[in-house]
Amino acid sequence: MGGVTLERRREIGLGLAVLDAVREPGEVLTQTDIAEVCGCTSAAIQQIEAKALRKLRRAAERLEQPER
């Protein structure tokens, strides 16, 4: 999300919060559904998802490493 402004990140975050509030428990949403609510493209949602997964994987790897 290097080219996304702080204001745009806030808008997307607000869209994600709305999604969380309106969706039914267990309901599966596509990247297209999420993009429509957030007012961005499916590609942007895919980039956000990929970055989040990378961060989670790195954090999990750090937890698995023995302390020195």
Domain boundaries, the chain: 6-64
Token pair, residue 52, equals 């989040």
d(CA 45, CA 12): 9
Q: What is the CA radius of gyration of the chain?
A: 15
Per-residue pLDDT at 57: 92
Q: pLDDT digit string (tens) for 6-65?
A: 887 787 777 778 877 777 888 888 889 888 887 889 998 899 889 888 988 998 898 888
Residue 1 above 60 pLDDT?
A: no
Torsion angle defined by CA atoms of residues 36, 40, 43 and 48, in that order, rounded to the nearest 10 degrees: -100
